[in-house]
Amino acid sequence: MKNLFLKTYLLFIFINTYSQNKIDSGIYWSEDKLSSITLLKNNQFGYTSFHGTSPYLYKEKRKKENYKRKMCGTIHFSVNEQGTGTYSINKNNLLLNFIKTSHAVDSISFKKTKKQTKEISIKLKIKSYFYRETFDNFIGIGTDIKSKDGTIDLNTQFENYIVFNLNRNQIPMEITINNNYSFIIKKKYSQEITLFYNDFKMMSTGDIDNKIYDLKKLTKEGTKNNLQQPFNISPSL
């Protein structure tokens, strides 16, 4: 009987400790609703703090005023700080460790295309790691793409993708994006390469002090209660 009680007690302690050190991905707001914390996979986060008001406070104000008329134009919010880094949880506190980055690329994927030709066709796409599909078209516009040997020197201009051809003897080829991120095309077949950008890395405001938030005082996007379901936001609503 004592052993059963001890096992039950230890299991309770384990579950309680585990739950205190785990939090779902999503968008969370600080107690004053002026700071937005977006928790991503692999303990990464994006952070934005606003001057005066925020998208959250603006929407809540419109709800209270029962303002049903649709807005025309764009509402701009003044950003105080914006950055990214890694987070951890300790004793019901969310710890944000900000990291300086030299480029906005979070990850890269290579996918072999079904149609193969004598020349190797490369389609390079740039997508948002976080924002909805409707904002992907803005990510990657005006991106410089160069090869180390100088044979490729392109710009995406007003698109978020570009297509170019290579000969088999040109591979492997090292490609540099905006002079700050490099990768190597290794496979000798037509492929689609996707670069996933972390939007918070693109819009960092520089040096930001590390921050600590009480988990109990955070509100998850889209609800009135703490730690509930998220919704996506754009840079300006």
CA distance 26 to 229: 7
Give the pLDDT of residue 103. Answer: 87
CA distance 55 to 236: 8
pLDDT per residue over 97-150, tens digit each? 998 888 888 889 999 998 777 889 999 999 887 654 545 567 888 999 999 999
Instruction: Pick from 14-23, 27-36, 95-104 the range whose average pLDDT is largest.
Output: 27-36
Give the pLDDT of residue 71. Answer: 56
**Lowest-confidence region among 35-44, 50-59, 73-82:** 73-82
Domains of the chain, CATH where assigned: 2-100+204-220 (no CATH), 105-201 (2.60.40.10)
- Cα distances (Å, whole numbers) of residue 25 to 38, 130, 196, 234: 7, 11, 18, 17
CA distance 221 to 232: 8
pTM: 0.66
Tokens of 212: 């600590």
